[in-house]
Structure 1
Amino acid sequence: MDISKLDLNLMVVFHHLLLHKRVSAVADLLGMSQPAVSSALGRLRASLGDELFLRTQKGMVPTPYALQLAEPVAVALDGLQQALNVRAAFDPATSTRSFTLAMTDVGEMYFLPVLIDALGKAAPGVTLQVVSVTQASLKDDMAAGRIDLAMGLLPQLQAGFYQQALFRQHYIALMRQAHPLAGKNKLTLTAFTQAEHVRILASGTGHGRVDVALEQQKLRRHFRLTVPHYVALGDVLSHSDLIATVPERFADRTLRPFALVKRALPIVVDDSAIHQFWHSRLHRDPGHQWLRQFTSALFGDAKLPQVESPV
């Protein structure tokens, strides 16, 4: 028989009839009327082609076929109940669940040190796996539940996903303390455009808005170096007279380790909003809800709008 054509709710009635052997007892237990239980049994008989239960003075007696079904039905319902109980009883202090997060490399540098430290205290058994947001299968992996949460400035996830704004940040110029321009409290537009720069492509993100702002003013920077990500940027800047235009929260993590300084940009560049994104299939999962609330508490700005429905 094709199980897709069977109303699985009928199997709950079947299971309890096996246990209690009386329609009245099953009706009371399930909050149904006796006629509704009898109707459910009638539909199940028609679907399975067997009487299943015979009325006797001792109650409803199962047929041989019903007895054959008894154990596998009980095991299946018990397994489903346990799965639902686990879902409803997520406890971060005892959970050993693993979550997969998608981030850019700059997101890894900003989020992970704080997140791992906080998880060690609040959820010591919870583990994380991090993947790149630049992978082509990001949307499909999130829809399939292989990725739980994506974090960052990710224009490709604006449509069709739940999202929560964590914070807004603006862009600054980053350079080493010994840079000729580091002694000036304010960068002029001339000095900025005449300096040598590092360009970070950061594909899959919206961090290219500085280039857009400069192009609108018909200004161009001289790029001595172009890199695909932020990983080596601190080392590069600390050993050269190059300037990089980066998100300020990333810059703040690099100042002390690499002896760098930050300066305000001499042009107007729109701030960026950093979000966490998730698929609707995980929206009501208690473990996932806890993870989102946890990251929001760590990184979120309460002044920003919180949750938007998929569009």
Structure 2
Amino acid sequence: MELSEIDLNLLVVLHQLLRERNVSRVAASLGQSQPAVSNALRRLRECLGDELFLRKPHGMEPTPYAQQLAEPVAQALGTLREALNVRASFDPAHGQRCFTLALSDVGEIYFLPVLMDALAAEAPGVTLRCVPVAHEALREEMASGQVDLALGSLPQLQSGFFQQALFRQPYVALMRAGHPLAGTRKALGAAQYRQAAHVRVVAAGTSHGQVDTALERLGVARQVHLTVPHYVALGHVLAETDLIATVPERFARRALGPFDLVMRPLLLRLPTNTIHQLWHAHLHRDPGHLWLRGLVARLFGDLPA
């Protein structure tokens, strides 16, 4: 098929349908009527020779062909968007721009206070919008330009994206200051670790699950009394209980003061946690993006570029 055979506006509708799986929401996001979106879908079906979407009880389900088109269409639209909005330079002191960052909740806790303070001093016209790294459409959203930069330990983005390692950190045990294991500065051994009551953090979309894998390999079974999906309430839980948590060191340091916690190193041979910043190829040479990545590397990086 030649590009002259298809209205490129139809690809915008296709991209939104692949994201929303709902005609009403697509119509609202594009500022069109529902009949207009339905008509565009009809034209797409005729042009591409495929049903593209099938109606199911839970919504519109893309066909295998539509799923195959998702990433290439998102990437092509993102490239066009960046080409049409290219900037010759970016002046952070006077520039106006909103960047969208993908972060886990632990990433928000660690990165955002420092980053927002730096923006207030160096780039007052720059604002941030944050989205979760666990979003199933994150790859497509980065390819289409809806997400500028992802920060964290994100195995789902290790292939097909530019990345820069910022720092490595060990896992440590975190607990309240009055915890029975908090009185010694020594590293916790396997026996103490087994006997303690634990809170386990799942943190979907990140590589923190490697802790569970490593403990299983070592034959160390935790007494898990609580499992939570993220880190956001962890400080409150630890401050009021005798539970301990196995967490990345830099998160632990952020939580010590606000919740009167202490951290202890572990004698267990757990893997280190490497934090990257990751971005799509179409933003690689964008002046504003270059500046943002440089700022992040300067504020948080301690590994060779």
Calculate the TM-score normalised by the size of structure 1.
0.70
**Whole-Å Cα distance in 2 between the matches of residues 166 and 259 of structure 1?**
28
Asked if residue 146 in structure 1 is aligned to residue 146 in structure 2, the reply is yes
2:220 matches 1:219: yes
Aligned-partner residue type, residue 262 of structure 2: V
**Which whole-Å CA distance do the structure 2 matches of 1:166 and 1:154 have between them?**
13
Shift of 1:4: 6.1
One-letter amino acid matched to 1:220? A
> Does the Cα contact within 8 Å between 2:172 and 2:246 map onto a contact in 1?
yes
CA deviations on 1:175-211 (whole Å, 9 max, x unpaired) are: 0011011112222311111110000000010012221
Task: Report the CA distance shift for 1:82/1:155 in structure 2 as closer, same or farther (over 3 A).
Answer: closer
After TM superposition, what 4+ stretches of structure 1 lie above 2 angstroms from structure 2?
2-5, 81-84
Q: Secondary structure at the match of 2:124?
A: coil
Structure 2: how far apart are the matches of 1:122 and 1:252? 26
Counterparts of 1:191 and 1:283, CA distance in 2 = 48
Alignment of 1:159-178 (within 5 A): 159-178=159-178
Work out the CA distance in 1 between the residues paired with 2:199 and 2:285.
43
**Aligned pairs (5 A) from 1:91-102:** 91-102=91-102
Match of 2:276 in 1: 275
The one-letter code sitting in structure 2 at the alignment partner of 1:259 is D
Question: What are the residue-to-residue correspondences of 1:26-105 with 2, within 5 Å?
Answer: 84=86, 87-105=87-105
How big is each residue's C-alpha offset from its partner over 1:197-239, in whole Å with a ceiling of 9 and x where there is no partner? Answer: 0000000100122212211121210111000000000000000
Q: 1:192, 1:266 within 8 Å by CA — same for their partners in 2?
A: no
SS at match of 2:131: strand
- What residue ranges of structure 2 are gaps of 5+ in the alignment? 6-82
Deviation at 1:135, TM superposition (A): 0.5
Partner residue, 1:255: 256
8 Å CA contact 1:139, 1:157 repeated in 2: yes
1:266 is displaced (CA, Å) by: 2.5
Does the CA-based 8 Å contact 1:107-1:152 persist in structure 2?
Answer: yes
Once the 2 structures are TM-superposed, how far is the Cα of residue 168 of structure 1 from its aligned partner?
A: 0.6
Name the aligned partner's letter for residue 233 of structure 2. A
Residues 1:157 and 2:157 aligned together: yes
Aligned residue in 2 for 1:192: 193
Percent identity between the two aligned chains: 59
CA contact (8 A) 2:169 2:248 kept: yes
Q: Please say if residues 190 and 220 of structure 2, whose CA atoms lie closer than 8 Å, have aligned partners that are also in contact.
A: no
Paired residue secondary structure (1:99): strand
8 Å contact from structure 1 (residues 169, 272) kept in 2: yes
AA matched with 2:244:
I
Q: RMSD of the alignment, in Å?
A: 1.9
Q: Which amino acid aligns with 1:183?
A: G
What letter matches 1:175 in structure 2?
M
Q: Tell me: CA distance 1:82–1:233, structure 2 relative to 1, closer, same or farther (3 Å).
A: closer
CA contact (8 A) 1:210 1:269 kept: yes
Alpha-carbon deviation of 1:3? 9.8
Does the 8 A contact of 2:100 with 2:149 survive in 1? yes
Residue 123 of structure 1 pairs with residue 97 of structure 2:
no
Once the 2 structures are TM-superposed, how far is the Cα of residue 94 of structure 1 from its aligned partner? 0.8
SS in 1 for 2:125: coil
Q: Deviations over 1:128-180 (max 9, x none)?
A: 00000000010000000000000000000000000001111110000001101
Q: Which stretches in structure 1 are left out of the alignment for 5+ residues?
A: 6-80, 307-311
For these two proteins, the number of residue pairs brought into alignment is 227
**Residue 189 to residue 136, structure 1, CA distance change in 2 (3 Å):** same
